[in-house]
Amino acid sequence: MTERSRAGGLLGEGRGRLVEELRARGIHDEVVLKAIATVPREKFLDRTFSSRAYEDSALPIGEGQTISQPFTVAFQTQVLGLKPGEKVLEIGTGSGYQTAVLAALGVRVFTIERHIPLLESARKRLEALGHHRVISRGGDGTRGWPEYAPFDAILVTAGAPDVPESLTKQLSSEGGRMVIPVGGKDKQKMYLIRKNGENLSGEELSDFSFVPLIGKEGW
Ligand code: SAM
C-alpha cells in the first residue's frame, strides 16, 4: 500500500467514525448522514489542518473565518428537511463544505460569501469535486439574492443580531424554512423559521457559537 492510499484509507475511516459520532449526538436523518459520509472534508481545509478533517470541530480557513463543525453542518441541514430539487440559499460559503453537503443532497444550491478569496477557493474545490450546478456570488448575503427568490430553504452559517427581513421576504410562502443562529457576537440560539402564506413562525432550538454575520442587515 502506498503512503497516499494509506492516508486515503485513514481519512475514509475517519469519516465513518465521524458519522457514528454525529449519530450518537442525535443526527438521525440517514440522508444527511450519507451526505456527510460522501463529502471529503479534508479537501475543504488547508494542508496544515487536513489531518484534523474528521474531528468534530470548527477549524480556521483564513480571513479570520472557520469551516463549521461537522455537527453544526449536520444539525442545520437536518433541521431543514430538504427534498431533492428544492432551491436552497446559503449565506456564508466559507470553505464550501456545507455547500458540498447540500449539493450531495440533490438540492439546487445558491451561495453567497463576503470574502472573495474564500469564495474563489470554495468555487475551485466545488468544481474539482464535480458540483458544477452550484451558483455562487460574492457580497453581502444579508440582502439575499432577489433575482433567484423565492427559496424553499435558507441556511445562514454566521451569527445574526436579528433575522434579516430581506431573507424572510425571499422565503417561499409555501412551506419555506430558514435556519439561522441569532443572538450576540459570540453565542447564539439556533432558530427554525417557517413561512406559510404571509405567516412567519419561529422555533428556538439549541445554543451555538458562530462567527458574526457582517452586513447591512447583520452586524
Ligand atoms: N458554511 C461554511 C463552511 O462550511 O465552511 C461556514 C463558514 S463560516 C462559519 C461563516 C461564513 O460566513 C464566513 O466565511 C464569513 O465570511 C461569511 N459571512 C459573514 N457575513 C456574511 C454576509 N453578510 N454575507 C455573506 N457571507 C458572510
Number of domains making up the chain: 1
- Assess whether pLDDT exceeds 70 at residue 202: yes
- Assess whether pLDDT exceeds 60 at residue 143: yes
Confidence band for 9, pLDDT divided at 50, 70 and 90: low
| DSSP state letters, 39-92 | S-GGGGS-HHHHTTTTSSS-EEEETTEEEPPHHHHHHHHHHHT--TT-EEEEE-
Beta bridge partners of 110: 89, 135
CA 3 to centroid of ligand 1, rounded, Å: 34
Ligand 1 pocket (Cβ < 6 Å) reads 65-68, 91-92, 94-95, 97-98, 112-115, 118, 140-142, 157-158, 210-211, 213-215, 218
Residue with cell 459570540: 186
pLDDT at residue 67, as a whole number: 97
Average pLDDT of the residues of the chain: 94
- Assess whether pLDDT exceeds 80 at residue 7: no
- 101: in domain: yes
CA 199 to chain centre: 25
Confidence band for 14, pLDDT divided at 50, 70 and 90: confident
pLDDT tens digits along 123-132: 999 999 999 9
Distances (CA, A) of 142 to 9, 24, 218: 40, 34, 6
- Assess whether pLDDT exceeds 60 at residue 213: yes
Q: Is 136 a catalytic residue?
A: no
- 216: in domain: no
Of 166, 106, 164, which Cα lies nearest the Cα of 131? 106
Residue 92 CA: nearest ligand 1 atom is 12
Question: Domain range for residue 159?
Answer: 3-208
- 214: in domain: no
- 115: in domain: yes
- Alpha-carbon distance of 119 to 139, in angstroms, equals 10
- 93: in domain: yes
CATH number at residue 44: 3.40.50.150
- 14: in domain: yes
Among 5, 57, 68, 95, the one annotated catalytic:
68
Residue 94 CA: nearest ligand 1 atom is 14
Beta bridge partners of 201: 194
- 219: in domain: no
Answer whether 99's CB lies under 8 Å from 109's CB.
Answer: yes
Percent of the chain at pLDDT exceeding 70: 95
Answer whether 169's CB lies under 8 Å from 144's CB.
Answer: yes
- 89: in domain: yes
- Assess whether pLDDT exceeds 90 at residue 2: no
Residue 90 CA: nearest ligand 1 atom is 1
pLDDT tens digits along 71-98: 999 999 999 999 999 999 999 999 999 9
